[in-house]
Structure 1
Amino acid sequence: MPRRSKPGHRLPRSIALTPEHEFILGGQKSGKSRRAEQRAADWLAAAPKQRRAVLIATAQAYDDEMRERIVRHQADRAERVPSLRTIEEPVELARAIVTQSTPESLVLVDCLTMWLTNLLMPLRAVGARPVSRTPTAHINLLLGALRDARGPVVLVGNEIGLGVIPLGRETRAFVDALGRLNQDVAGVCHRVTLMAAGLPLTLKEPGR
């Protein structure tokens, strides 16, 4: 039975300051991104002159609605965590984590679901780089990057496998692939948190 964390957006200090990886997943508008941003804010607040936080954004703007969504998210993040630096990397996620990870840096990945979409359904956005490896190779590189990261990494992802089995073959394949990715990432993270209605449920924590 998952243990429910205390309500509220502030993380306990013992959680916020430990250099451990955390996987935060949930449904659409469940509060997962805000929870991850609070994690970054608490990390920075502990030593603002020494520490930094970097967001690796994986979304690509394929149409006007997606462009508007990205701009809105950027504005919201800038207001909540002004010191959070953003880089965009829709495909080579493992390389970005390795490049950005230091003992003084927290790396935030938002999100794994969009990253997997870019690998499995690579619609060509203007200026987008082609996918040079198989999805399995990219996932293995990601897991290796997490194991080798020198600082904490917080990853955001969607849980989309709680509903009925989709009718379309491609949709079923994607749901299956995301479920396997979520399991793999949860296996290498020290802490796993499920968000529902803005409230966190601790699925995995150090020592348990």
Structure 2
Amino acid sequence: MHTELILGGQKSGKSRRAELLARGWLAASPAHRAVLVATARYGDEEMRARIARHQAERAARVPGLLSVEEPLRLAEAIARESRPGTLVVVDCLTLWLTNLLMPLQEYEQNRPPALDLPAQTAMLLEAIRQAPGPLALVSNEIGLGVIPMGRDVRGFVDALGRLNQDVAAACARVTLMAAGLPLALKDAA
């Protein structure tokens, strides 16, 4: 595998597929490494508990999967972690976009001004194209429902749709997950 975008709705099996890819990658050779780049932020106690639960469950399912947290500088994390023998899993693009467009208040004062969406998207796409090792990127497909009422929510849905299209164009494989089942949308590998 080289690059795969894994799309789906909430609880569709996106992260589980990425974990299966990591587990298979690690099993294929003792020289292989796998690194998860987590983009989630602790916004409240429920999110803190959710992240802790995901970390524990992921460690049990894929013991060799290393984790790094990078909520904003995703392109830099991919460039830093990607190697020919290392699979980088990004989970997820949706939260990364949320962090850029709707930063939590406690992070806003530490947010560098250069983190605008067009520049970060261009850097992300270049990092995907230049990655020397395989990548699996997870993102939500949220454009299948009704059109949201609020302007900000519509803007977010539009931005995520554009981001998913751009990342899909940069990836060799695109998989849509539904009910835990993969559907290949693109397979240029």
TM range (shorter): over 0.9
Deviating beyond 6 angstroms after TM superposition, the runs of 4 or more aligned structure 1 residues are none
1:27 is aligned to 9
| Aligned residue type for 2:84 | P
| Aligned residue type for 1:32 | K
- The match for 2:83 among 102, 114, 138 is 102
> Is contact 1:109–1:155 with CA below 8 Å preserved after alignment?
yes
Indicate whether 1:163 and 2:145 are aligned. Answer: yes
| Aligned residue type for 1:154 | A
| CA–CA separation in structure 2 for the residues paired with 1:71 and 1:155 | 21
Local SS of the residue matching 1:192: strand
Local SS of the residue matching 1:181: helix
Indicate whether 1:46 and 2:28 are aligned. Answer: yes
CA change 1:157–1:128 in 2 (3 A) is farther
| Aligned residue type for 1:47 | S
| CA–CA separation in structure 1 for the residues paired with 2:146 and 2:48 | 30
TM-score (norm 2): 0.96
Local SS of the residue matching 2:143: coil
1:135 is aligned to 117
Local SS of the residue matching 2:145: coil
- Percent sequence identity is 63
1:178 is aligned to 160
Root-mean-square deviation (Å): 1.3
Local SS of the residue matching 2:185: strand
Residue range with higher mean Cα deviation, 124-133 or 137-146 = 124-133
> Is contact 1:102–1:149 with CA below 8 Å preserved after alignment?
yes
1:82 is aligned to 63
2:50 is aligned to 69
| Aligned residue type for 1:205 | D
TM-score (norm 1): 0.88
Please list every run of 5 or more consecutive structure 2 residues that lacks an aligned counterpart in the other structure: none
Number of aligned residue pairs: 188
